Structure 1
Amino acid sequence: MATLQKIRNRGGLLVSIVIGLALVAFIVGDALSSGASLLNRSKNQVGEIAGEAISIQDYQQKVAENEETIKSMNNLPSLNEEQQRMIRENTWNQIVSENIMQKEYESLGLGVSGDELFDFTLGENMHPSIKQLFTDPQTGAFDKNLARERIQMILNAPANNMQAQASKQYWLNMEEQVEAARKQEKYNSLLMKGMFIPNEVAKEYAENALTTVDISFISKSYNTVSDSAVSVTNNEIKDYYNSHKYLFEQQEMRQIVYVNFDVSASAEDIQETEEWVKESIPEFTNASNVIEFANLSSEKRFQPKYYKKGEIGNEELDEFLFTEKGNGVYGPYLQDNAYNIARVADRKVMPDSVKARHILISTQTMEASRAEKLADSLAGLIRKGGDFDELARKYSADQNSAINGGDLGWFTQEMMIPSFSDTAFIAKKNEVKITKTPYGYHVLQVMDMTKPVEKVLLGIIAKEITPSQQTVNKIYNDARTFANNINTLADFDAAVTANNQTKRIANLGKNDATIPGIESAREIIRQAYLTDKPGFILMDKEKSPIFETGDKFTVAVLTNIQEEGIAPLNSVAPMIRTELIRKKKGEIIAKELTGAISGSESLLSVAQKANAQVMDATDVSFSSFQIPGAGIEPKLISEVMTLQENQISKPIIGNQGVYVVVVNSKTVETATPEQIEAAKNSALQMNMTKIYYQTLPALIKKAGVTDARYKFY
């Protein structure tokens, strides 16, 4: 959490949650670039796909649906900024891919019938992603009938059970994904039918792979010709540009220069934090409920875990906790940017790990009162000698363990959620207990355990070292002083010099979320794209030149606007000039080597005339990545593979210089039918990979996609 946000939310909890979002079945990659500048038809358009406008209302509704699904499935009250950004990105990709691919499917008459969809979701040919949901990760066992029962329970879930409805929505999304994947499979199959590899072509591939040559060569580097020896005119640069425009395609980009003002705690802030913790020691010492007092007082919440000696990671604290038997408090001590004090809340003799089995009665598909009664009944049956394995297979909602009679194997305290672990690690061997978790009621039996040892439960009060409001105000005033009277890039550069600041440069993509050295950069990026004139200072939403970026204040100037399409001539002219100089040097060297070749009967003779050294390379083939002594030279490799033995080549203009080559020996093997077939399969596989990764981006480019989300987020 950003430092500035901490100041606003003192005492708030930082919860780090990792969630997965699998909403898009296609490869989108870089194809979702912005296209041409946005048509100003409507301020409410979030983009266009193949000429069809996408309104912010429709887009946001789909985003909200996906957010609610994720929150419900993961039992989250809210989503953080990064999670929201990820969902917005995946939702946009989903809309683009569905819109474009659906038009392709309709034009080709591709679809998935109801019977076909049933077969892939609940029938005999369940989709692998559905099988995975109901497959035991340890044994790999999958029960198709049991999976069908669980899915039917989800679909028939009561409307008033929010968690169950979330599961139902997740399943409906899964059905959509399976249907989309099936259409894509049919589409790819059609494309593959057109990727025919003739036998003669496959034979050539196979024989090329089996052909190798041993060569001798000389090289003359481009550096042997001075730049002043060649001249390049503006007309030559223009002609090259016009005939090679495809080489100069560029993505939309904005460039900024910026200065950061780090918001960090002062020495006074650090001292005040330590004093606050010290003042809490007397009350902490006398607290009757150590964990409750610590949780109410601490800015960090710690996992309630019992530690054995040597496990805490702080030798002095460890020694204190297992020596001090009273209510003593250890600290203050500095750890993880916070001052801490610690006290033993409880001591127990307990195992490091237990082996247990359980039967889960889910409250997602059953009312809580009914689930509790069923759990009580099953526990009673087991205590009277009922078969735990059989009951688990019949009643447990945890299908991963039910197939093994509810066996969870060995686990440590932190591997399970607290309420489950608390029960498992205090239970006696073979004792049958009932515990409740967010998933439902568990009938639990510990089957075995490691040797119990003494462990302690800690109460810890932590106060993070953060800058005070006074410190924040001072740093903000420094940033404001810097930004005063800055309007243009020249003003900015002068202020950097005058204030001895570090100027940074960044290239920004339209939907980027970060900038090097900045934690929360989205607003700077958004404003850079909302500005159509480079050379001026950027302003935030409140028209202030100071952006609040996580634990920094940032002042930035837009220096360049790069539109998508063909780069203008003036921006690529230096690169073209360099290429033309290299090309002309190559022609000069090639002419020199042609003269050296004339009248020479050996490569050594050519080398002596050209003042060059003869080098050797063996086992060169079409698949060679480079040639020792020459480097990465694909043109040289292709040329030598076509030469006859003992033939002095013409000068070959390459990447690093110009070469003259002699093939000393050439090995050509006849390809067997098996090798030809393997070459054909390899080529087909390569074509399949191209279809999978390049089809959608090509369709997107052809259709035209305008992404204007930066106007809103």
Structure 2
Amino acid sequence: MAALGKIRSKGVLLICIISLGLFAFIAEEAFRSCESSSNEHRQQVGEVLGEKINVTDFQKMVDEYTEVIKMQQGQENLNEDQLNQVKDMVWNTYVQTKLVENEAKRVGLTVTDSELQNVLNEGTNPMLAQTPFYNQQTGRFDANALKKFLAEYKAQSQTNPQMAKQYESVYKYWTFIEKTLRQQLLAQKFQGLFAHCLLANKVEAKMAFDEQNEESQIQLASLAYTSIDDNKVQISDADLKAKYNQMKPRFKQYVESRDIKYIDVQVKASAADAAALHKEFATYSKDLAAAADPSDVVRKSTSLVNYIGVPVTKEAFPYDIAQHLDSMAVGSTSKVLENKADNTLNLIKLVAKQQMPDSIQFRQIQVVGATADEATKRADSIYTALKAGADFEVLAKKYGQTGEKTWMTTRQYQSAPSLDKNTKDYIMALNTMSVGEIKNMPLSQGNLIVQVADRKAMTTKYTAAVVKKNITFSKDTYSAAYNKFSSFVSANLTAEDLVKNAAKSGYTVLDRKDVTTAEHNLAGIRSTREAMRWLFDAKKGAVSPLYECGDNDHLLIVVLDNINEVGYRSLDDAQVKEIVKSEVMKDKKAEMLIAKLNGVNSIAAAKGKGANITAVNQVTFAAPVFVSATGASEPALSGAVAATAKGKFSKAPVKGNAGVYVFQVTGKTKRPGKFDAAAEMQKLRQKEMQAAGNFMNELYIKANVVDNRYLFF
């Protein structure tokens, strides 16, 4: 009891302690929850219709599409620009697919397996032509070839690990095509349903036909806005505000953006750097001229152009190199050539120049054996049999090969980074053999029996060694540029000082408006992801750190000039104000010119007021008339002319885009042609579909799309 009394005496204190403990527990859980949400947010690439996509899932889609592009184009790797295009394509496809799927779900649209199978059986969809199952002879997709592949894919994955890898690549490619086909079919269904909501009737069609085919001839009197000096027009703040309110819908911004000022310093080679490179090229010139095989010279020079040692066409060389090949003698070495367009020094040695086929049809039998001697004996036997008239394909099948004819073109090998000796010998043999000739070629892995079946498109081919190197800056040059710019930035820490003092230090301040998160780099400079991250996390007026970017040749400092938030751009925005001011200026001048033309009821009277008089023919309601006197298209004028009878003068001056007009209708004619209600209704539906083509943009706006790719890519 004493203990209980003691506890009771401390009741208030205990309640406080327990409350603090509970608060700490709840706060800790809240902190963990916030931290978890924050980490999750940092991993989000974007959001569509409230559905978030994280960077891992997005990267999987990018990797998938990258492999598809590699397979389609036969490339091993994609450069930075190509990868950026892939990322944009993946993102746009993802967003559009989500938008269409959402709308399709609301109206009950789906793509069934049987519908997809019908497309495969029909075999004419353009996407199917990009698959390995497309039959070139029939010009159609072969559904049976797909079924055969899928059956073999399952079998190979269990029995042949080496083949399984190749089958896996094709299988992944096919699953991508199938998925894309489903998305395409669903979009087509939705668009088809949408299209049938737009109708045209015969009355509308007849009106449209008349509007297109009734032509007016007029005498036109024009007074251009440019005839009044801007200084003679008084514009008040009230005028601007009233016009802004009238035009406000034009200034709605759906995506947040940034306006920046920036200084970009591109480091370039100094005179000393260029002199050092010229000295290097003097050595290359001597070595190339003396070398029987120039491959070592080109390799050691780290030339931008590889030497593969076989004849290729001009298109295999950079344009500036190709222009010199025909003027060079075989065996000669050019002087050192400077190309200011790509900032390089160049040397060329023309090793050979020959007339060779661009395309060669051939067939072959690969011969191997337990030993080199065994392979040689077997190859000699096959070669002898073929020379004696044996059937090539029959012999090939005896050794487990098809022996079928195939084509090789110069493009297939001329862009290779390098070729080994066996491949060079192989290509040279095919290029120099005559039609029907058979050759027994010893290779390091056995022998190859080759027969040329056809040769096409004889063309000039060149074997040329090229040393092409960029005129780059040295470390000392870069350090000097960095130190100078860094000192300038350190001495000018505010945005105002940077802008004010840049020119004094030899730097130029540039502007860039409306930078969005959808961009891959800042101000067109490579490797500026960190600057992009800074930009969309900074406050107005902030100055960025000094960034080293580009291809390690740019120094960049950025000022966040303005944040353009989602919503209506205000009249304080310089771009908006300029647009509004221009429209107010036009309105004020129109008022002055209309007042000048008031009471004018003839072309002669208008001319007396200083108007420019021209004859204009073929004026129709359906198309805006182009007025050469003011250099503008004028829809309002077309409407006024259509409403005015032949012989009549315009009821009132017409305010146009570039001036004020009065006119006399001198004639009206009908173009020859018979009204076809069905054809005109179809034309109207097409126009309506074009006008409604922005429906995807409307869906995008309503989907609250968030694009955070700049944080990751």
SS, match of residue 629 in structure 2: coil
Residues 677-692 of structure 1 aligned to structure 2 (within 5 Å)? 677-691=678-692
Contact 1:259 1:556 in 2 (8 A): yes
Match of 2:187 among 167, 184, 187: 184
Aligned to 1:635: 636
Instruction: Describe the SS at the equivalent of 1:58.
Output: helix
Whether the aligned pair in 1 keeps the contact of 2:133 and 2:146 (CA below 8 Å) is no
Deviates more, 1:221-230 or 1:42-51: 221-230
* Structure 2 residue 534 is matched with structure 1 residue 527: yes
1:568 shift after superposition: 1.0
Report the AA paired with residue 254 of structure 1.
R
- Specify the alignment match of 1:108 in structure 2: 107
In 2, the alpha carbon distance for the partners of 1:452 and 1:701 equals 57
The 1:86–1:550 alpha-carbon spacing in structure 2 relative to 1, beyond 3 Å, is: farther
Counterpart for residue 427 of structure 1: 433
- 352 and 234 in structure 1: CA distance in 2 versus 1, 3 angstrom threshold: same
Are 1:304 and 2:305 counterparts?
no
Question: Of 583, 594, 599, which aligns to 1:595?
Answer: 599
Q: Which residue of 1 aligns with 2:519?
A: 512
Q: Structure 2 unaligned runs (5+)?
A: 1-36, 315-320, 367-374
Q: Percent identity?
A: 22
The 1-side partners of 2:535 and 2:269 are apart by 30
Identify if the C-alpha distance between structure 1 residues 275 and 606 changes in structure 2 by more than 3 Å, giving closer, same or farther: closer
Q: Does 1:695 align with 2:695?
A: yes
Match of 1:20 in 2: none
Following superposition, the deviation at residue 292 of structure 1 comes to 4.8
Give unpaired runs (5+ residues) of structure 1: 1-37, 323-328, 363-371
Give the conservation status (yes or no) of the 8 Å contact 1:49–1:706: yes
* Cα 1:338/1:176, change in 2 over 3 Å: same
CA distance in 2, matches of 1:381, 1:96: 63
Of 486-495 and 178-187, more deviation after overlay is shown by 486-495
Deviation for aligned residue 1:509: 3.4
For the pair 1:218 / 2:221, whether they are aligned, the reply is: yes
CA contact (8 A) 1:435 1:442 kept: yes
| Cα gap change, 1:444 to 1:689, in 2 (>3 Å) | farther
* Partners of 1:642 and 1:229 in 2: CA distance: 34
Q: Distance in 2 between matches of 1:425 and 1:151?
A: 39
Q: Please identify, of 261-270 and 424-433, the stretch whose mean Cα deviation from structure 2 is larger.
A: 424-433
Map 1:151-190; keep pairs closer than 5 Å.
152-153=148-149, 156-157=152-153, 158-159=156-157, 160=161, 161-190=164-193
Secondary structure at the aligned position of 2:436 is classed as: coil
**Cα distance in 1 for residues equivalent to 2:385 and 2:679:** 62
Flag the 1:381–1:707 CA change in 2: closer, same or farther, 3 A: farther
Alpha-carbon distance change, 228 to 108 in structure 1, aligned in 2, over 3 angstroms: same
1:496 to 495, 499, 502: 502
1:12 — aligned with what? none
Structure 1 residue 659: deviation in Å? 2.0
Among 346, 352, 367, the alignment partner of 2:356 is 352
Counterpart amino acid of residue 386 in structure 1: D
SS at match of 1:269: helix
Cα 1:359–1:686 change in 2 (3 A) is farther
Of the three residues 653, 656, 660, the one matched with 2:655 is 653
> Within 1, Cα distance between the matches of 2:173 and 2:330?
50
Matching residue of 1:709: 709
Q: C-alpha displacement at 1:591, in angstroms?
A: 3.9
Deviation at 1:352, TM superposition (A): 1.6
Compute the displacement of 1:53 (Å).
Answer: 2.2
- 2:328 pairs with 1:318: yes
CA contact (8 A) 2:269 2:474 kept: yes
**RCO higher in structure (CA 8 A, sep ≥6):** 1
Question: Residues of 1 paired with 2:174 and 2:696: CA distance?
Answer: 26
1:473 equivalent to 2:483? Answer: no
Instruction: Say how many residue pairs are matched.
Output: 630
Q: 2:128 aligns with which of 106, 127, 130?
A: 130
Matched, 1:484 2:487: no
The 8 Å contact of residues 217 and 665 in structure 2, kept in 1 or not, is answered as: yes
Q: CA deviation at 1:80?
A: 3.1
TM-score (norm 2): 0.75
* Post-superposition offset of 1:49: 0.9
1:195 aligns with 2:198: yes
d(CA) in 1 for partners of 2:440, 2:531: 53
Provide the rounded CA distance (Å) in 2 between the counterparts of 1:255 and 1:378: 74
Give how far 1:50 is off.
1.4
Query: Does the 8 Å contact 1:537/1:545 carry over to 2?
Result: no
CA–CA distance in 1 between the matches of 2:262 and 2:558? Answer: 4
Question: Are the structure 2 counterparts of residues 191 and 502 from structure 1 closer, same or farther at C-alpha, using a change threshold of 3 Å?
Answer: same
Q: Secondary structure at the match of 1:319?
A: coil
| Closer/same/farther in 2, CA of residues 673 and 211 from structure 1, 3 Å limit | closer
Equivalent position of 1:558 in the other structure:
560
Counterpart in the other structure of 2:263: 259
Which amino acid in the other structure matches residue 61 of structure 1? K
Tell me what 2:145 maps to.
149
Looking at CA atoms only, which structure, 1 or 2, has the larger radius of gyration?
2
Please give the residue correspondences for 1:43-62 in structure 2 after superposition, counting only pairs within 5 Å. 43-62=42-61
Contact 2:347 2:466 in 1 (8 A): yes
Give the direction of change, closer, same or farther, for the CA distance of 1:47–1:237 in structure 2 (3 Å limit). Answer: same
The answer for the alignment partner of 2:15 in structure 1 is: none
TM-superposed CA distance for 1:574, in Å, is 4.7
Equivalent residue, structure 1, for 2:590: 586
Report if aligned partners of 1:218, 1:613 keep a CA contact under 8 Å in 2: yes
Q: Do the aligned partners of 1:487 and 1:536 also contact (CA within 8 Å) in 2?
A: no
Deviation at 1:698, TM superposition (A): 1.7
Q: 1:154 to 1:480 in 2, by over 3 A?
A: farther
Partner of 1:65: 64
* CA–CA separation in structure 2 for the residues paired with 1:435 and 1:555: 62
In 2, are the aligned partners of 1:353 and 1:412 still within 8 Å (CA)?
Answer: no
1:202 Cα deviation (Å)?
0.8
Matches of 1:606 and 1:338, distance apart in 2 = 64
- More helix, by proportion: 2
Identify if the C-alpha distance between structure 1 residues 528 and 409 changes in structure 2 by more than 3 Å, giving closer, same or farther: closer
CA gap of 1:480–1:547, structure 2 versus 1, over 3 A, is: farther
Give how far 1:213 is off. 0.8
Q: C-alpha root-mean-square deviation of aligned residues, in Å?
A: 4.6
